[in-house]
Every structure is written in structure tokens, then in C-alpha cells.
């Protein structure tokens, strides 16, 4: 009887692990940003493996993560081919550092299960540890195997730290947000995955402070991306250029990141100190937030449209100069192609803003009707 129960539990574990492996592999193919020399920002692709490690412990987590690393290796053989062109040792180093070890560390996602009472905190802490270890693996690979190929031999460590951070920092933030959110919806601590029990309503002030803390982290991530990624694009050719890392305003990146992280910690601390019986109401403020968000989006859309129109004029002028004397047909085609490209972007953004306005209006009217 006991043997039958053990076999059943093993079958359940294998089935769940197979499903999570499939989820992780599919999510890894959904690339928000795909860097030309390896590395990408995905749609929470590491989270399913971290959940398995949290549910069944480090041993089973490492086993599942090892299977996932082989799947990642199978989908990333093009990177290994670069190493084969150098030497068998380089290929082996890429396989170990960029794939096997880099993804096996996801099996450590459950090491903090007993250290935190909150499932969300334990899963997020395990995810952060796994992401840091994966980042270290990629940095070591970058400053050794890839030095002289995609990364300059001079100051290889600095370039590897910067390059791998451009995708691992956003990937880590997305994974942490996903871990916290899914922990509020599903409970992974039982024999089977169930919905979490609804908690008592949090005070408005706690919700507000928690929102400010998260907004500070999002702003820091957005600031870093805006400051770093444009510097990695060659101004003349438009191609990716890792040497542009030297042109990044690192002082502003570090200052803004440190300040935002400090503010986030402060707001989270204040949030935890708000008593459960706090009766201060912020309904008016919460009702205004969607309208402020849509208004800000409309302003940003206006700036985007203005910049886009300027680009159209600039590209049109360049096209006319380039095709001068070769016939108006070619010049007109170049102008039309350029305008169509930018106007498509304007159309998509305008549709998104309009959809947001409609949704906010419907929500507002619905609340007014309820009251």
C-alpha cells in the first residue's frame, strides 16, 4: 500500500514537472528583447522551474532544472557553434556556463521555503538567488570564452558585467513580479496546487504605499533601460555595439537606481507598519489614478507623435537627397515606405491609448452606477 502511494506521488511529481518544463520552454521562446550576442528578456520563463523547486525541494528542483538546461541547450546550439569554431574547450565552457550550470541553479528556487512564512517572499527570495547565480555564470562565460568575439578583450570583465546586466536585470525583475503575483493567486504548499484563500482587505494606506514601492522599482528599471540600451546602438550603422557601454552615463544610472531602491525599501517598510485597523480612506485618490495614468499616456503619445513626425521629415529629406536626379518614382517610393513605417507606429499607439480611455470610462461609469 505504501509503495503504491509512493509510486503515485512520484507519478504526480513527474507529470507536474513535465507540464512546467513545457510551460518554461514555451515562455522562453516568447522573447520581449533578444540581444544579438546571446541573452534575452522573456515572459517569466524561469518561474515554472522555480515553482517546482519550491514545491518539491532542492533535490527534485535540481533534477527538473537539469532537464530544462538540456532543452535550452537544444534550442541554443547556434551559440555553441561559435565555441566549436574556436576550440572544443571553448564549446565545452559555453555548454557548461551558459546552459547547464546557468539553468541548473534554478533548482535552488525553494531553498528559502522554511526561512519565510510567506509563500510569496520565499519564492521571490529563491528566484532572486537563482537569477544572481545565473548572472554570475554568464559573466564568467562572457569575460573568458566570449572575450575577443562579441566582447572586447580589453576590459572584458567590465563589458561582460554590463552586457549581461542589460537582459538579466529586467529578466530578474519580471521573474520577481511574477513570483509575487502568482503566490497571491495559487498556493503551492499542499499536495496539489490550489487557489489561495482570500485575505482580509488591506488598509488603503498600505495599498498606496505598496504601490509607490513597486512604482519606484519599475521607474528604476525603465530609467536603466532608457539610459543603457540606446548607447549600445551604433549611431552610424544602427547595429548593436557592445563598446557603447563606455558611453553610458553610469553616474545617473547608479544614482537613480540606488535612490529608487532606497525609496522602495522605505515605502515597503512603512507599508508593513500600517495597522490592520487603519480606517483612512483613499478611494478618491484610487479613482483618480487610472485617469492620471491615461493622461500621462496621452502626453507621452503626443511627444512620441511629435518626434515621429520630425523623423518622417528628416527621413524624407534624406530620401530626396539620396534619390536626387534618379527619378521621382524611386524617391516617392522611399518616402512612402518611410512614412508608412512611422505612421503604423502612431496608429498602434493611438489605438492603445484609445482602448485605455474606453476601459477607464467603462469602469468609472460602472462604479458610478453601483453607488
Three-state SS string over the chain comes to: CHHHHHHHHHHHHHHHHHHHHHHHHHHHHCEEEECCCCCEEECCCCHHHHHHHHHHHHHHHHHHHHHHHHHHHHHCHHHHHHHHHHCHHHHHHHHHHHHHHHHHHHHHCCCCCCCCCCHHHHHHHHHHHHHHHHHHHHHHHHHHCCECCCECCCCHHHHHHHHHHHHHHHHHHHHHHHHHHHHHHEECCCCCCEECCCCCCCCHHHHHHHHHHHHHHHHHHHHHHHHHHHHHECCCCCCECHHHHHHCCHHHHHHHHHHHHHHHHHHHHHHHCCCCCCCCCCHHHHHHHHHHHHHHHHHHHHHHHHHHHHHHHHHHHHHHHHCCCCCHHHHHHHHHHHHHHHHHHHHHHHHHHHHHHHHHHHHHHHHHHHC
Q: By percentage, how much of the chain surpasses pLDDT 70?
A: 64
Looking at residue 346, what is its pLDDT? 60
Looking at residue 125, what is its pLDDT? 92
Q: How confident is the model at residue 120 (pLDDT cuts 50, 70, 90)?
A: confident
Mean pLDDT of 76-87: 65
Looking at residue 127, what is its pLDDT? 93
Does the structure show a pLDDT above 60 at 88? yes
Q: By percentage, how much of the chain surpasses pLDDT 90?
A: 16
Looking at residue 363, what is its pLDDT? 64
Does the structure show a pLDDT above 90 at 146? no
pTM: 0.64
Does the structure show a pLDDT above 60 at 68? yes
Most confident of 179-188, 276-285, 301-310: 179-188
Does the structure show a pLDDT above 80 at 45? yes
The chain-wide mean pLDDT, for the chain, equals 77
Looking at residue 278, what is its pLDDT? 74
Q: How confident is the model at residue 335 (pLDDT cuts 50, 70, 90)?
A: low
Looking at residue 131, what is its pLDDT? 94
Amino acid at each position: 500500500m505504501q509503495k503504491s502511494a509512493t509510486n503515485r506521488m512520484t507519478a504526480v511529481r513527474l507529470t507536474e514537472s513535465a507540464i512546467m518544463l513545457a510551460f518554461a520552454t514555451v515562455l522562453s521562446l516568447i522573447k520581449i528583447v533578444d540581444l544579438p550576442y546571446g541573452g534575452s528578456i522573456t515572459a517569466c520563463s524561469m518561474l515554472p522551474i522555480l515553482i517546482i523547486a519550491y514545491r518539491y525541494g532542492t533535490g527534485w528542483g535540481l533534477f527538473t532544472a537539469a532537464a530544462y538546461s538540456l532543452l535550452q541547450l537544444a534550442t541554443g546550439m547556434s551559440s555553441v557553434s561559435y565555441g566549436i569554431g574556436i576550440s572544443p574547450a571553448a564549446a565545452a565552457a559555453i555548454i557548461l556556463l551558459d546552459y547547464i550550470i546557468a539553468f541548473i541553479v534554478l533548482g535552488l528556487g525553494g531553498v528559502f521555503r522554511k526561512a519565510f512564512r510567506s509563500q510569496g517572499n520565499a519564492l521571490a527570495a529563491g528566484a532572486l538567488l537563482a537569477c544572481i547565480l545565473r548572472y554570475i555564470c554568464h559573466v564568467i562565460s562572457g569575460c573568458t570564452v566570449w572575450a575577443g568575439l562579441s566582447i572586447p578583450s580589453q576590459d572584458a570583465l567590465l563589458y561582460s558585467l554590463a552586457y549581461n546586466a542589460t537582459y538579466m536585470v529586467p529578466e530578474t525583475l519580471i521573474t520577481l513580479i511574477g513570483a509575487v503575483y502568482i503566490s497571491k493567486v495559487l498556493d503551492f504548499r499542499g499536495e496539489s496546487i490550489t487557489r489561495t484563500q482570500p485575505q482580509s482587505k488591506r488598509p488603503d494606506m498600505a495599498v498606496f504605499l505598496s504601490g509607490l514601492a513597486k512604482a519606484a522599482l519599475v521607474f528604476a528599471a525603465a530609467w536603466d533601460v532608457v539610459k543603457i540600451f540606446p548607447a549600445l546602438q551604433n549611431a552610424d550603422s544602427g547595429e548593436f555595439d557592445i563598446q557603447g557601454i563606455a558611453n553610458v552615463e553610469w553616474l545617473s544610472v547608479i544614482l537613480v537606481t540606488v535612490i529608487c531602491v532606497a525609496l522602495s525599501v522605505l515605502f515597503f517598510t512603512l507599508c508593513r507598519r500600517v495597522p490592520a485597523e487603519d480606517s483612512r480612506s483613499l478611494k478618491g485618490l484610487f479613482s483618480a489614478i487610472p485617469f492620471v495614468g491615461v493622461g500621462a499616456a496621452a502626453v507621452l503619445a503626443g511627444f512620441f507623435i511629435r518626434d515621429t513626425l520630425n523623423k518622417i521629415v528628416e527621413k524624407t529629406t534624406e530620401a530626396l537627397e539620396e534619390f536626387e536626379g534618379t527619378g521621382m518614382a524611386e524617391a516617392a517610393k522611399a518616402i512612402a515606405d518611410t512614412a508608412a513605417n512611422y505612421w503604423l507606429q502612431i496608429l498602434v499607439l493611438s489605438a492603445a491609448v484609445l482602448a485605455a480611455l474606453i476601459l477607464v470610462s467603462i469602469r468609472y461609469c460602472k462604479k458610478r452606477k453601483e453607488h
